[in-house]
Amino acid sequence: MSDRSGIFAGNDPFVIAKTWMSDAQESELNDPNAIALSTVDAEGLPNARMVLLKDIEDAAFVFYTNYESAKAAELDGAGKAAFVMHWKSLRRQIRVRGLVSKEEGPQADAYYTSRSLKSRLGAWASQQSRPLSGRPALMAEVAKVTALHGPSPKRPPFWGGYRITPVEIEFWADGAFRLHDRFVWRRPTVESAWDVSRLNP
Ligand SMILES: Cc1cc2nc3c(=O)[nH]c(=O)nc-3n(C[C@H](O)[C@H](O)[C@H](O)COP(=O)(O)O)c2cc1C
């Protein structure tokens, strides 16, 4: 892979991902950390929705959500997920596929505590993905949990993180005349060493 230079250079895909994310934080209009998270349901029907990537760790990607949501059922059922992030300002894309585990320990508590009080109470109030009779019912729920949990609510047991540990990460950058650059990092298991290949655009 001698021609893997410039923005694709390096021996660690997580370092490259962190660098691209910080580039995007400089250039993107909003939500540079938005990812389209893809799951499959019990019938194998794919699903996708945006979530915010909260952490690129040394060996995984972490986001937060409701553990009783549709996506949580799909994540827990399959144990696998994929996501893509695309930055229009940079004309770059990162794709990730991997294994999923929950982050429901001190790290989830710390992230929950870092959020605004309204967001913390919102997490308590929303029965994410389940039917809602109307906005007033949601507002009544917010009032109820506000009275119940006060100014420093604990992290709800049904809300926390998911960690995606990849077996595949692809870095893509726009090239002239659609001759884009693509480098995919693959490994057979999450313990194996990475193998990097350049792909046709
Ligand atoms: C830019 C953006 C960021 C979002 N971030 C999150 C998030 O971090 N966590 C989350 O649970 N939902 C987030 N959502 C809402 C989800 O897209 C989705 O509507 C919700 O999680 C329910 O999905 P589900 O029914 O498939 O579980 C976000 C939506 C958008 C448009």
Per-residue pLDDT tens digits for 160-195: 999 999 999 999 999 888 899 999 999 999 999 999
- For the entire predicted model, the pTM comes to 0.97
C-beta 86 within 6 A of ligand 1: no
Contact 184, 200 (CB under 8 A): no
- In which band, very low, low, confident or very high, does the pLDDT at 3 lie, cut at 50, 70 and 90? confident
Rounded (to 5) percent helix, strand, coil in the chain: 30, 35, 35
> CB–CB of 84/169 below 8 Å?
no
Domains of the chain listed by start with CATH number? 6-115+158-199 (2.30.110.10)
Catalytic residue, from 178, 182, 186, 187: name it.
178
Under a CB-based contact definition with an 8 Å cutoff, are residues 28 and 89 in contact?
Answer: yes
Q: Is 63 in the pocket of ligand 1 (CB under 6 A)?
A: yes
CA pair distance 50, 36, nearest whole angstrom: 4
Q: Hey, whose CA ends up nearest to atom 13 of ligand 1?
A: 51
Pocket of ligand 1 contains residue 40 by CB under 6 Å: no
Closest CA to 169 of 66, 95, 75, 72: 95
Q: Would you say 91 and 41 are in contact if contact means Cβ atoms under 8 Å apart?
A: no
Q: What angle do CA 179, 180, 182 make, to 5 degrees?
A: 135
CA of 179 to the centre of ligand 1 (A): 33
Residues 6+ apart with CB under 8 A from 47: 38, 39, 40, 41, 70, 71, 74
- Residues 68-121 have pLDDT tens digits of 999 999 999 999 999 999 999 999 999 999 999 999 999 999 999 999 999 999
Residues 6+ apart with CB under 8 A from 52: 31, 33, 34, 35, 63, 64
Based on the residue annotation, tell me whether 178 is a catalytic residue of this protein: yes
- Distance, in Å, from the CA atom of 120 to the CA atom of 194, rounded to the nearest integer, reads 38
pLDDT for 145 beyond 80: yes
